[in-house]
Amino acid sequence: MEVTAQQVSEWMVKEIRLKGSLYQTDAIEYVKANFGEQFVFVNENGNASLSKEVKKAFRKLHGGRIAWDRDGFFWAWT
């Protein structure tokens, strides 16, 4: 079965709901191992990042209820 960016973003929201936050490094490791490399890329700063499709689906799904902590590199429930 083909995995979609929507499924990845649903997993992210579920994790944040359960744990309160999700670190980017943990998300990237899990997504790579369980959903596939196609959802991860290396950005211009040389850091691993989630694909634009995942981020877009994620934003739409949480509708502003989850915030990105730029200093701590994690998402958290607001």
Query: Is pLDDT at 37 greater than 90 in this prediction?
Result: yes
Tell me which of 34 and 78 has the higher pLDDT: 34
Whose CA is closest to 37, among 48, 23, 45? Answer: 48
Please report which confidence band the pLDDT of residue 20 belongs to, taking 50, 70 and 90 as the band edges: very high
Average pLDDT over residues 8-28: 97
User: Which sequence spans correspond to the domains of the chain?
Assistant: 5-77
Q: Looking at domain 5-77, which CATH architecture does it have?
A: Orthogonal Bundle (1.10)
Average pLDDT over residues 48-62: 97
- Residue 50, SS3 per DSSP: strand
State the pLDDT at residue 2.
87
End-to-end CA distance of the chain: 33
Phi/psi of residue 4, each to 5°?
A: -115, 160
